[in-house]
Every structure is written in structure tokens, then in C-alpha cells.
Structure 1
Amino acid sequence: MPSVYVGDTLLAQSERVERVEGNLYFPPGTIQKQYFHGPTELHTHCPWKGDASYYTVEIPGKDDARSVKLENIAWYYPEAKEGAKYIEGWVAFYKNKVEVRE
């Protein structure tokens, strides 16, 4: 089942994902919301998907380990353009900052 991890912490998991431009988009109900903060101040624009908003992920430290804070690691389209409505609100992750398991 497709999933996203930072270390041993599960951030998202779903049998139903959408692959768009090489990125997996997860339904919003399948992310571990306790780790997500945002939207942040960062916004980007895609000509066919629309304006993206971003999340920062913060994972508390365990057993004297420091917490992990990854700014703007995940994005979503709160109001996607017509051609991308099927991923509106769905969350994607920067693959170089997380481990994506398929």
C-alpha cells in the first residue's frame, strides 16, 4: 500500500492515490494530521493545477531524540483548476525529503 515516512514515522498511507507528474497525491483523510501544520506562507502556481499551499511537518522527538521539523515538505491545491479537480485537497510530498513506499 502506498505510504510516506520520515524515519519510522508514518505521514500518509492509502490504497487510493493519484500519480501526477511523478508525485503521489494522498487523500486528505489519509495523512497523519497531528504532524501537519499550515498552510504555511509559501504558495506556488502551476498553470494547469492552480495555486498550491504548503504544510510543514513536525515530528516530536522520542527517547531524548530531537524533534524533526520539515518546512514546506508537502503541498496541496485547495482550489484546483478544472483539469485537476480530482486532486483538489489531496497531499503530495517532496520525494527527496521523505521515503515513499509503494
Structure 2
Amino acid sequence: MPKAVWNGIVIAESDDTVVVESNHYFPRSALRDDVVRESGTHTVCPWKGTASYYTLEHEGTRSDDAVWYYPEPKPDAAMVRDRVAFWKDVQVVA
């Protein structure tokens, strides 16, 4: 079962991931709410739409914008709706 590991802790785990462009998109419900903080960062992907981000924070450690998601993905990217993906210092272990 794929897991997202950050700072030595599992922050998401699910056997229902979707792989897009080599990134595992986990259901949003699989992400631990106690480690995420809203971020004001947004980026635009030409085919997926506008991405929003979460910052991770736990026991004094922080990783800015390490989680992204598409609140309103474009039609061709509907498979990532209500899902999150990770980068920076988050490791996804399948």
C-alpha cells in the first residue's frame, strides 16, 4: 500500500492512489489533517488547472508547500479531483 512519509512519520496511506506524471495522488481523506496548514501558494498547469498547496508542520519541523492539489481540475485531469500529491522532502513508498 503506498505511503507518504515525511520527517519519519506516515502522513498519508492508501491503496487507492492515481499515478499522473509519475506522482501518486492520494485521496485527500488519506492525508493526516494534524500536519497540514493552508498555504497561499498557487501554480498553474496547462492541462490540470490551478494547483493549491499545503505546508506540512509537525513538532517544530516545517516543509513549505510540500503538498499540492487541484480544487477545480480541468476536465482532462478529473482523476486528480479530491486528491493530493507530494514533493520536496516527502517520500512516497509503494
- Measured against the shorter chain, the TM-score band is over 0.9
Q: Which runs of 5+ in 2 are unaligned?
A: none
More off after superposition, 25-34 vs 4-13: 4-13
Cα distance in 2, alignment partners of residues 85 and 26 from structure 1: 14
Q: Which runs of 5+ in 1 are unaligned?
A: 61-66
Over residues 8-30 of structure 1, what are the superposed CA-to-partner deviations in whole Å (9 max), with x where a residue is unaligned? 21111000100000111000110
Map of 1:29 onto structure 2: 29
Equivalent in 62, 70, 74 of residue 81 of structure 1: 74
Cα distance in 2, alignment partners of residues 98 and 91 from structure 1: 12
Richer in strand (by share) = 2
- Give structure 1 regions of 4+ aligned residues with deviation exceeding 4 angstroms: none
Q: Number of matched residues?
A: 94
Percent of residue pairs identical: 37
SS of aligned partner of 2:68: strand
Aligned CA-pair RMSD = 0.9
Over residues 27-71 of structure 1, what are the superposed CA-to-partner deviations in whole Å (9 max), with x where a residue is unaligned? 011011110011x111000111000000000011xxxxxx21000
Q: Which has the larger radius of gyration?
A: 1
